[in-house]
Amino acid sequence: MKDRTPSSATGILSCFVLHLDIMVSSPSPLHIFLVFLRLGLTSFGGPVAHLGYFRAELVERRRWIDEATYADLIALCQFLPGPASSQVGIAIGTMCAGVIGGLAAWLGFTLPSALLMIGFGYGVSVFGDPASGWLHGLKVVVVAVVAQAVWQMAQRLTPDRLRATMAIISAMILVIWSDALVQLIVIGCGGLLGWRFLADNGNKNAHITSPITPRAGLFFSILFACLLIGSFLMTIFAVHPTLTLLAGMVRTGSLVFGGGHVVLPLLEPVVVGSGVLSGETFIAGYGAAQAVPGPLLSFSAYIGTVAAVPPGGWIGGMLALVAIFLPSFLLVWAVLPFWAALRARPEVQAALAGVNAVVVGILLAALYQPVITSAIRDPADVAIALAAFAALHLWHVPPWLIVFVCALVGAIRG
């Protein structure tokens, strides 16, 4: 009996550990939602930081996927337009529990920031005189945030003279002509120049085994194409202001290359140019978005909440949120089955490198208009923006703290 008891206890413990391992390796959609909800509540610091949190939680701690697969998912989502960290989450959820798992991962990661931005939208509606000091402080924050994004993206995406020149020329064009159609032309030209002149020498081996079948991937590809074409048609024919706004969200979500901050120049003509929001309210909301955890594209929930088109409020916020993220779902599910073949084609990678280079220029143009032109009104604003940039870029002060301090300084200055 003395010999059998430890053996029995060990057997029970082994079964329990095995059961836990099965749970970790094959999480349910509810489990995925809860894990990503915690990540959505705690993941401050932008997309790069999000990917670090994901790796620590999902690769090292829970072992839902291995290191090689995770690295390849990052490569896939950097290849696709859209918010990379959210798409990595969608892809991990999909690989663990299919399409429902992908939806659960996105909902958990996005819900906290979306609710916070909707709440901020209600606050702006009640207390948000565009001339108020605290809102102006938020606009000054955006100068520092976008300047840092331009700096970091330029180092990563324009490492040679050709790509740096492409970025500068695209910025010059868009400072003069900031129309959404011109942005699309610039992105297309960047892809053509990259395909023609940039050679890709990256790793061509893929480690993803897709749970999405090629037939399903083709279906999602067609659905994405129809959605994108429909968004252009709704904008051209201006069927209804609400549909036009949602179409702009879909189009923006389909064209965000290079990082989440690129959403700023893409959304500005859609939202401010059409009169849905004032430039001041738009920039102030973008500043507030820097202080919340989770994906930056939750900024769309704020826009839908305060938009001067129906339905507005939380319903409008949720509709805008779904519209801007819908292309990300369709693209991840469309490309997952074909990623190994796509990654092996150097011309595809070269075209993407060209697109990413001109995206740096698009963001550089946005730093001037609308960011600096709407936020900087006197020398004190320049000093505050420089201090915020130094705190963010040199001293790595948490963005939420910088946002709070700048809003407070703005309120004191009046």
Q: What pLDDT was estimated at residue 9?
A: 44
Query: pLDDT: is 163 or 261 the higher one?
Result: 163
Q: What pLDDT was estimated at residue 22?
A: 38
Report the Cα 102 to chain-centroid distance in Å.
16
Is 84 among the domain residues? no
Task: Say how many domains are in the chain.
Answer: 1
Answer whether 44's CB lies under 8 Å from 293's CB.
Answer: yes
Q: What pLDDT was estimated at residue 206?
A: 58
Query: pLDDT: is 125 or 45 the higher one?
Result: 125
Is 66 among the domain residues? no
Is 218 among the domain residues? yes
Phi, psi of 82 (to 5 degrees): 120, 175
Is 82 among the domain residues? no
Q: What pLDDT was estimated at residue 200?
A: 61
Q: Which structural domain, as residue segments, surrounds residue 196?
A: 130-413
Q: What pLDDT was estimated at residue 8?
A: 47
Q: What pLDDT was estimated at residue 96?
A: 93
pLDDT in tens, 66-80: 888 888 888 788 888
pLDDT above 70: residue 162 = yes
Token readout for 392 is 């963010």
Answer whether 65's CB lies under 8 Å from 101's CB.
Answer: no
pLDDT (average), residues 34-50: 87
- With the C-alpha atoms ordered 204, 166, 181, 311, is the resulting torsion angle positive or negative? positive
Q: What pLDDT was estimated at residue 15?
A: 46
Report the Cα 202 to chain-centroid distance in Å.
24
Beta-carbon neighbour count of residue 126 at 10 Å?
A: 7
Residue at 161: amino acid letter: R
pLDDT above 80: residue 373 = yes
Burial class (CB in 10 A: 0-12, 13-18, 19+), 230: middle
- With the C-alpha atoms ordered 334, 340, 345, 348, is the resulting torsion angle positive or negative? positive
Instruction: Tell me which DSSP letter residue 58 carries.
Output: I
What DSSP string runs through 266-321?
HHHHHHTTTTSS-HHHHHHHHHHHTTSSS-GGGHHHHHHHH-SSSS-HHHHHHHHH
Q: What pLDDT was estimated at residue 204?
A: 58
Is 168 among the domain residues? yes
pLDDT (average), residues 261-280: 87
Q: What pLDDT was estimated at residue 205?
A: 59
Nearest to 35 by CA among 74, 64, 69: 64
Q: What pLDDT was estimated at residue 18?
A: 38
pLDDT in tens, 272-328: 888 889 888 899 899 989 889 999 999 999 999 999 888 889 999 999 999 999 999
Is 299 among the domain residues? yes
* Cα 289 to Cα 300: distance, rounded to the nearest angstrom: 10
Element holding 201 (H helix, E strand): none
Instruction: Tell me which DSSP letter residue 338 carries.
Output: G
- Nearest-10 crossing angle of helices 263-271, 299-306: 10
Average pLDDT over the chain reads 86
pLDDT above 70: residue 351 = yes
Query: pLDDT: is 32 or 241 the higher one?
Result: 32
Burial class (CB in 10 A: 0-12, 13-18, 19+), 215: exposed
pLDDT in tens, 198-207: 876 555 555 6
Is 40 among the domain residues? no
CA distances from 361 to 148, 161, 163, 170, 299 (A): 14, 14, 10, 5, 22
Is 2 among the domain residues? no
pLDDT above 80: residue 239 = no
pLDDT above 80: residue 184 = yes
What percentage of the chain has pLDDT greater than the value 70? 91
Nearest to 360 by CA among 73, 76, 162: 162
Q: Name the range with the highest mean pLDDT among 136-145, 324-333, 363-372, 388-397.
A: 324-333
pLDDT (average), residues 32-54: 88
Least trusted range by pLDDT, from 52-56, 113-117, 128-132, 405-409: 128-132
Answer whether 99's CB lies under 8 Å from 333's CB.
Answer: yes
CA distances from 77 to 80, 91, 96, 187, 255 (A): 5, 9, 17, 18, 13
Helices (DSSP H) in 128-179: which residue ranges? 133-157, 161-176
Least trusted range by pLDDT, from 107-111, 168-172, 268-272: 268-272
